[in-house]
Structure 1
């Protein structure tokens, strides 16, 4: 009674607002210290990082309906074929990227695009301004050329910060002469050529029209006086084996999330996911756990250490729930795995730019292909097996035994999950 009376008297003397304010300040201070500590750790980690070593699978082409699909898991292989397509272009090039470094690889792409324009090819370029703030602005200055049209994706609408105005252009897309298209997770830069494990696809055949139309629709979505609209034509054929999904914040359209949820809900045997950042929303977690509960073999590959340490720590907040529910987690070793792929039941697969996080699934401009093909799914499963050999599996016992301070830091960062 004495203790309860003392607490009651203290509450009378101290206004509730002051208690709440002090609590908020204490939480904020803990978050700030945690973020600062992670920044120091991340800086040291990147400074001492060794050259990446990881297994790779040579590109191989398979047929899916009226299209040919070639899957790349190594940047140098991909860049060689992308540059080859650009150098052979005769009519037009649609080039869209999130990050475009001003290093030797980035310069090689820039030179190839300029050379294509010099020989009469119409070149259309889109890049995200925010993603390239650390890149010298001079790199994006192209010579005045009648055949080069550039549309930077900026922050449009700071005065009115609505979700439909703030989405970043996270897409990576190349279409050449309506004949060949490239899509996937690879940005443009020397780091990605050899040190990152990513996944990209080269497409020919019927689906190329859809890829070209995706670029045209985005280009025309943001009209500018000095940049003419591109002609929008109807599709030549309906492609039943490969479908294209595009997140368009401007229109508040986000179908990639629904694509994932529907596919995982249908799973009967296995779900294999490889993702750079795993920060799922409640529906995504529930769907994964329901699949595991009905006996589906659910496996997820994520980097042991990604290029965004805060994203790693936010992702860890889901590990206990997933591991308890029977989901198996594999931590990729020795390199950043940046792929955004999934294969289910040996029949369904997806390759694209969207991560399993809120920014990708309900915020950014993203693009994924959905493929109904045993051959494509089998190839992605082979790649998953190779990647799994470069992982260590995280067990529930190991996860529960982590230090108490680590658990506290993870809980402190929980409010930041909706931001990523």
Structure 2
């Protein structure tokens, strides 16, 4: 055997052995680890390449350290501990206590009372409300968004930011580099920077990062914090309602305008992401954390999730499984993308077995053909379990909402898919109490009224070609 070939063989086996140790060191599901090990042993070069791109879900120790330091330094709830017990110890339905415990233990943020929320379901009206809040800012505007498009609505918010910066307000804009690529390549971003707005991209796709981290992990959060007193979060990006595939129609989003102590938690999420991307720590800056003032009666809890070590416990999945397993009467879900894992399907199936009504609202026509095909593959299991699936026909339902009984509602950026559960950085707010659940369910009922109930009998008699196409698409579920 020639020396060169001999050395290449040794290197080949060294790669195999090292990668086997790397894969085994990760606490992945056995089936996932076995798949990676098989590919690496059979075809090491391809296996290493694919593992580098898709094998790791972590963003590194840097984010973990920032998460802990900023969370501790904000101390939003501790300052009120002895003075306002109805804020740090709000009364809730005892059925919610396990949900609250899971969210706090693994998400790091406690439940806080004394909040209010205005639900916003019209895209242009939401943009107007954010613009008004920015125009009223006196100290700072913090904006974090997945898609900021330089279209009409994007320019409305950009001009508001430039006006605020001109008044001396500190304006910070953090956008995902992939989702907001059109903005980052536009003249508008230069105008923002020239006006004094600090603009940075989240999770930039650069050569070094291509080698060290997954490219498909994105910051999917949508958040605006004004003066530490008011915050907007939910499903809406800074775009026109007809953004994307024109054949699908307008997007239907739901946002919340939050006031009260919960804003400090949402501020903490922005500070963590900003520090991670820029290295700038803002948590001790005067005015960032004003003294929390109760402005309502709602109890709420922020649940940020992501792929870093601090979130390896799959926080949102734990919270949702706890909520579903404790449901007694009704579960209603709206989501643009439905690619559930086995645990979610089982929890919803068990809920139906207990007599719980499970309603799921999804788009009739999705904006991503492969994702839609994969989603439809899972209709079979959900329909067999007894869930009711509604096909929303008026544009793309993009609102990500969940209500359980009369106890808890979730509003945020998380889709009911594996990507949101395990890969993307997401932001959600849990809201407790019959009043807010009733308001959220009213919004959900509007979506249901605009939908058609999927006929179980017709669905199971669809052509075999559709079944095979959907089953094939479902093979890519962990990546979609």
TM-score (norm 1): 0.79
Contact 1:75 1:192 (8 Å CA) reproduced: no
SS in 2 for 1:191: coil
Question: How far apart are the structure 2 equivalents of 1:82 and 1:369?
Answer: 18
Aligned to 1:202: 257
Question: How far apart are the structure 1 equivalents of 2:217 and 2:478?
Answer: 15
Contact 2:124 2:153 (8 Å CA) reproduced: no
Are 1:130 and 2:216 counterparts? no
Question: How far apart are the structure 1 equivalents of 2:226 and 2:452?
Answer: 40
SS in 2 for 1:350: strand
Aligned to 1:211: 266
Aligned to 2:130: 82
Summarize the Cα distance change of 1:259–1:113 in structure 2 as closer, same or farther, 3 Å threshold: same
1:349-360 matches, cutoff 5 A: 349-360=409-420
SS in 1 for 2:211: coil
Cα deviations by residue, 1:228-254 (Å, 9 ceiling, x for unpaired): 321248896699921101113233514
Aligned to 1:295: 355
SS in 1 for 2:429: strand
Gaps in structure 1 of 5+ consecutive residues: 1-63
Cα deviations by residue, 1:254-276 (Å, 9 ceiling, x for unpaired): 42222111111110100000001
Cα deviations by residue, 1:5-51 (Å, 9 ceiling, x for unpaired): xxxxxxxxxxxxxxxxxxxxxxxxxxxxxxxxxxxxxxxxxxxxxxx
Contact 1:185 1:353 (8 Å CA) reproduced: yes
Worse overlay, 188-197 or 119-128: 188-197
SS in 2 for 1:99: coil
CA shift for structure 1 position 76: 1.6
Aligned to 2:219: 169
Are 1:246 and 2:246 counterparts? no
Question: How far apart are the structure 1 equivalents of 2:132 and 2:375?
Answer: 38
SS in 2 for 1:306: coil
Aligned to 2:282: 230
Question: How far apart are the structure 1 equivalents of 2:289 and 2:170?
Answer: 21
Summarize the Cα distance change of 1:238–1:362 in structure 2 as closer, same or farther, 3 Å threshold: farther
Question: How far apart are the structure 2 equivalents of 1:350 and 1:106?
Answer: 26
Question: How far apart are the structure 1 equivalents of 2:321 and 2:327?
Answer: 10
Contact 1:123 1:148 (8 Å CA) reproduced: yes
Contact 1:331 1:392 (8 Å CA) reproduced: yes
Question: How far apart are the structure 2 equivalents of 1:160 and 1:117?
Answer: 37
Question: How far apart are the structure 2 equivalents of 1:100 and 1:222?
Answer: 17
Aligned to 1:160: 211
Aligned to 1:179: 229
Aligned to 1:321: 381
TM-score (norm 2): 0.70
SS in 2 for 1:222: helix
Gaps in structure 2 of 5+ consecutive residues: 1-111, 244-248
Aligned-residue CA RMSD in angstroms? 2.2
SS in 1 for 2:318: helix
Contact 2:235 2:412 (8 Å CA) reproduced: yes
